[in-house]
Structure 1
Amino acid sequence: MELGISGRVAVVTGGDSGMGFESAKFLLREDVKIVLTDVDEAALQAAAKELGTLGDVRAVAADLSGMPGVETLKAFADTAFAQKPTILVNAAGITGATGDFLELSDDDWLETIQADLMVAVRVTRAFIPAMRAAGWGRIVLFTSEDAVQPYVEELPYCAAKAGLMNLTKGLSKAYGADGVMVNSIAPAFIATPMTDAMMEKRAKEKGVSFDAAIESFLEEKRPGMVRKRRGRADEVAAAVAFLCSEQASFITGENLRVDGGAVLTMGS
């Protein structure tokens, strides 16, 4: 399928690994120029070097948990290529604090909300004006199955991701008439460094192997995942690339699940 985005510039946050990295890879294959960002300079530069074999990539390390980092990213992105970005993929995020609701502090909540909701607020606010001026834009935010199917041990993350779904719908209504399509992707249990860490912790706690930890997690925590495996980052990235494309010109305000059936209801 011809995606019709050759020559455009995309900003990809959380791009040094996992779903952000794979999303950048898919967009590069469509001849999109990439501005890649993450917080770890060494990991980011290694990722940019690898992705650079596929196309034009520029990288800048930035801590998006505050406005100075967002301003650094925007200044870099606006001058990295001959045109300003009209695609934004916000894959940055953390699991954040987990545990009993009554034992989680305000700081636990605020750290997760800052990383998983406010980063998206800041970066979309920074890049929407240029998209409106161009009369064309694509924004993809990363939510989660947790946004609609909360898990009691992950409530800060669940609440932040639910907020992202609402933000997606609101932005789609605010800027759709300007040609800016805003959608979200809701992955579930994808093989990334984040879920690797979760499973390593689970394996240690249960005294089992890494693979056994995954198997028991699927059985106990994700019974709806009919494929009985973790998803792959490239399976998510393929959906991201489509939502960034000209082919998605009549799709906005949607939350596309890439979850192997994890969500057990018909609702959003």
Structure 2
Amino acid sequence: MDLNIKGKTALITGGNSGLGIETAKFLAREGVNIILSDKKKGEALEKAKAEVEKEAAMGAKVVTIAADISKNEEVLSLANQIETDFGGAHIVFHSAGARGAADDFLKLTDDDWMKTIDVDLMGAVRVCRAFIPQMQSLNWGRMILVASENAFQPYEEESPYNACKAAIINLSKCLSRSYSKENILFNCISPAYIETPMTDAMMEELAEEKNITIDEAVKWFVKNKRPHIAMERRGKPEEVASMVAFLCSEHASYINGTNIRIDGGSVESAFG
């Protein structure tokens, strides 16, 4: 399908792996210029650039710019560089984030909460605040934020992450009401248990704790911690990226202020 976005420019935060890099590949195939951003410059980000460049078509450019989303000055610097080099970003897929502190609620400190909020909620606030003006100038924009199944079906050991992801959905809805008349669309996706570095780390920790293999840890986790996943497996990053790419396209021109669950049936409620 031609997404009709050839020549647009897209920023992908969290762009060195997982959902970020897979979405970048989809968009690069459509002739979209790609800026891959992550917290630090390094081998992982450059490797991601090389992978995306292999997929790039129709003269699409692929560059990397490091920026820590927990630091407003770095987000502003990122925005300024993109405006200087590309004239601004038409598309932002904000996939950077972290699981944050996870423990019994009564053991979590203010510092645990604030560190998670600073990355998972305020990171999105900073990115939106920096790039909405560019989209206003371009009179066209697609902002896709990453929420989670946790926003609807919270897990008791992840209360800061749960709260942040619920807030992301509310933020996206709020912004969709403010800027849609300027042809800027805001939507969320809510993945569940996808093969990403974050869940890989969780599985490595679980495997070590139980003295089992990673594959055994995944099977144990699905059975015991995510029993509502009807498909009984982890999702693949490309299964999420294909939906993100569609939401970035001209074909999604009447989808605004919504949240799309990509969760293999994980959320138990029909109306969550």
Q: Is the 8 A contact 1:58 1:80 kept in 2?
A: no
- Residues in 1 aligned to 2:40 and 2:90: alpha-carbon distance in whole angstroms: 25
Give the counterpart letter for 1:237 in structure 2: A
Q: Is the 8 A contact 1:132 1:180 kept in 2?
A: yes
- Taking the TM superposition and a 5 Å limit, the aligned residue runs for 1:86-125 are 86-125=90-129
Q: CA deviation at 1:53?
A: 2.3
Q: Is 1:5 the counterpart of 2:5 in the alignment? A: yes
Give the counterpart letter for 1:7 in structure 2: G
RMSD of aligned residue pairs (Cα, Å): 1.0
Deviations 1:49-71 (A, max 9, x none): 22122231111111110111101
Moved over 6 A (4+): none
- Residues in 1 aligned to 2:256 and 2:114: alpha-carbon distance in whole angstroms: 29
Give the counterpart letter for 1:64 in structure 2: I
Deviations 1:87-135 (A, max 9, x none): 0000000010001000001111111111111111001111111212222
TM-score, normalising length: structure 2:
0.96
Q: Is the 8 A contact 1:36 1:58 kept in 2?
A: yes
- Residues in 2 aligned to 1:149 and 1:223: alpha-carbon distance in whole angstroms: 12
Equivalent position of 1:58 in the other structure:
63
Equivalent position of 2:73 in the other structure:
68
- Residues in 2 aligned to 1:232 and 1:117: alpha-carbon distance in whole angstroms: 24
Give the counterpart letter for 2:63 in structure 1: R
Q: Give the secondary-structure state (helix, strand or coil) at the position aligned to 2:189.
A: strand
Q: Is 1:228 the counterpart of 2:229 in the alignment? A: no
User: Unpaired segments of 5 or more residues in structure 2?
Assistant: none
Q: Is the 8 A contact 1:14 1:93 kept in 2?
A: yes
Deviations 1:8-54 (A, max 9, x none): 00111000000011111111011100111001311212211221222
Q: Is 1:193 the counterpart of 2:197 in the alignment? A: yes
Q: Give the secondary-structure state (helix, strand or coil) at the position aligned to 1:168.
A: helix
Q: Give the secondary-structure state (helix, strand or coil) at the position aligned to 1:84.
A: coil
Q: CA deviation at 1:248?
A: 0.4
Give the counterpart letter for 2:65 in structure 1: V
Which shows bigger deviation, 84-93 or 205-214? 205-214
Deviations 1:135-176 (A, max 9, x none): 211000000000111110000000000000000100100111
Equivalent position of 2:138 in the other structure:
134
Q: Give the secondary-structure state (helix, strand or coil) at the position aligned to 1:41.
A: coil
Equivalent position of 2:242 in the other structure:
238
Q: Is 1:38 the counterpart of 2:42 in the alignment? A: no
Give the counterpart letter for 1:37 in structure 2: S
Equivalent position of 2:15 in the other structure:
15
User: Unpaired segments of 5 or more residues in structure 1?
Assistant: none
- Residues in 1 aligned to 2:167 and 2:266: alpha-carbon distance in whole angstroms: 20
Deviations 1:197-234 (A, max 9, x none): 10011111112211111111111111111111100000
Q: Is 1:251 the counterpart of 2:252 in the alignment? A: no
Give the counterpart letter for 2:49 in structure 1: A
Q: CA deviation at 1:80?
A: 2.3
Give the counterpart letter for 1:52 in structure 2: E
- How many residues align structurally? 267
Percent of residue pairs bearing the same amino acid type? 49
Give the counterpart letter for 1:135 in structure 2: N
- Residues in 2 aligned to 1:7 and 1:85: alpha-carbon distance in whole angstroms: 11
- Residues in 2 aligned to 1:198 and 1:226: alpha-carbon distance in whole angstroms: 21
Q: Is the 8 A contact 2:229 2:263 kept in 1?
A: yes
Equivalent position of 2:222 in the other structure:
218
- Residues in 2 aligned to 1:168 and 1:89: alpha-carbon distance in whole angstroms: 12
